Structure 1
Amino acid sequence: MPRLLILLAPALVLALASSAVRAEKADRLKPMIFTAEKQGRIDGVNQRTELLGNVIITKGSLLLKAEKVDVRETRDGYHQAYASGTAGQPVSFRQARDIPGEAVDGVADQVEYDTKTETVRFIGNATVRRLRGTAVAEEVTGAVIVYDSRTEVFTLEGGSASPNPNGRTRIVLMPRAQPGDEAASAPVAPLPLKPSTTLQPGKPS
């Protein structure tokens, strides 16, 4: 993607490398589990659950942490979760990919998660990374980032809530290591010293 487009476009779409590989497929069949440290409220009439205080949501490999979560069940049985953080403690989200050892990890002031569309919306000071193990393969930042876990496409928007100067969006793509890169970059070990078998000790004059 041209650098000019990355810097100036108000909304960008970025597909992950290996786009044919999806987020963890088994997650959609797992139950959604909620825990919280403080108060909670369940409204059975309106199909709404509110939780407060170090709220943790899990669904298979999916892990969401927030200070406050409002979960609503739709008429067709899906859930929409609205999570918010506190100053200095944003909402965090993590989900494994089908590639072993890879995951999508993100933080934002607010996060919206929809189980029907399997999309995650990061709102305000948003940063999302694709990880290979502990190494960052790709990183995107902006005011709003929408991650579609089915297609693994990011949609980015700039604005005043972007963590970047002048409300810009920002994309960082790290190079993939190639075979031999480690050997080429590794320092060459010095040859061990060996005693000479040809030189004779010098004689005093």
Structure 2
Amino acid sequence: MNRVLLASAALLLLLPAAEGVAKSSDRNQAMNIESDSQSGIVNGDGTTVLGGNVALSQGSLAINAARAEIIRRNGELSKAIFTGKQVKMRQQLDDGSWMDAQADRVEYDMTNETITFIGNYTVKSDRGANSGQRMVYNTVTGNIQSGGDGSRVRTVIQPKSAPAAQGKK
């Protein structure tokens, strides 16, 4: 098994399907977005660009970035793209623990319920950490895909006996 596949398989241990998925009730909460500036559409389909101190919250999900593009399709929010050095994200998991992440770019696809971390990303939870250049995280299943693009992926898995303190703040 090559190193990328081994690291990806090991990372699946970080987020067990039954316990490690994003808080399911978050998807049914209102999305609140604040920024220093906004230009674009208010109603209908299209893109709105937000600049300066962008903060998105939806239930326990919180994302902070320098800039964001919010895309509406068929009258619904479909995608949000956050950029900055670095975009920061925090979300509670269904088991009550927290996942913290950062990357140069974060793409939140509401239609497919995935979050893609691009560029110098790090994702941490009580069970361990993963870092590299690109990761796709499914907020429903907890499945991740990282590496495979020629870059290295680094995974740290905490032993079961390790205290669960990393994600608590």
Per the shorter chain, which TM-score range? Answer: 0.7 to 0.9
1:63-105 Cα distance to aligned partner (Å, 9 max, x none): 00100000001216242001100xxx300111101112x0111
**Residue ranges of structure 2 left out of the alignment (5+ in a row):** 164-169
TM-score normalized by structure 2? 0.83
Secondary structure of the 1:23 match is coil
Q: Quick one: percent identity of the two aligned structures? A: 30
Contact 2:15 2:142 in 1 (8 A): no
1:26 corresponds in structure 2 to 25
Matched to 1:110, the amino acid is R
State how 1:143-182 maps to structure 2 within 5 Å. 143-157=133-147, 159=149, 167-177=151-161
**Structure 1 pair 17–106 and aligned structure 2 pair: CA distance change class (3 A):** closer
**CA pair 66-9 structure 1, distance change in 2 beyond 3 A:** same
1:138 deviation in Å?
A: 1.3
Residue 112 of structure 1 deviates from its aligned partner by 0.1
- Counterpart for residue 105 of structure 2: 110
Residue type of the alignment partner of 2:161? A
Alignment of 1:42 with 2:37, yes or no, is no
1:47-196 equivalence runs, <5 A: 47-75=46-74, 77-85=76-84, 89-100=85-96, 102-131=97-126, 137-157=127-147, 159=149, 167-177=151-161
Tell me: CA distance 1:157–1:76, structure 2 relative to 1, closer, same or farther (3 Å): farther
Aligned-residue Cα RMSD (Å) equals: 2.4
Residue of structure 2 equivalent to 1:184: none
Give the TM-score normalised by the residue count of structure 1.
Answer: 0.70
Q: Could you tell me which amino acid in structure 1 is paired with residue 107 of structure 2?
A: E
Contact 2:71 2:79 in 1 (8 A): yes
Q: Please give the alpha-carbon distance, in whole angstroms, between the structure 1 residues aligned to 2:63 and 2:110.
A: 13
Select the structure that is richer in strand: 2
Distance 2:147 2:25 in 1: 30
Corresponding letter in the other structure for 1:90: Q
Q: How many angstroms apart in 2 are the aligned matches of 1:74 and 1:46?
A: 5
Q: CA 1:20–1:51 in 2, change beyond 3 Å: closer, same or farther? A: same
Higher RCO structure (Cα 8 Å, ≥6 apart): 2
Q: Would you say the 8 A contact 1:80–1:115 is kept in 2?
A: yes
CA contact (8 A) 1:125 1:141 kept: yes
Question: Aligned pairs, how many?
Answer: 159
List gaps (5 residues or longer) in structure 1: 132-136, 161-166, 180-205
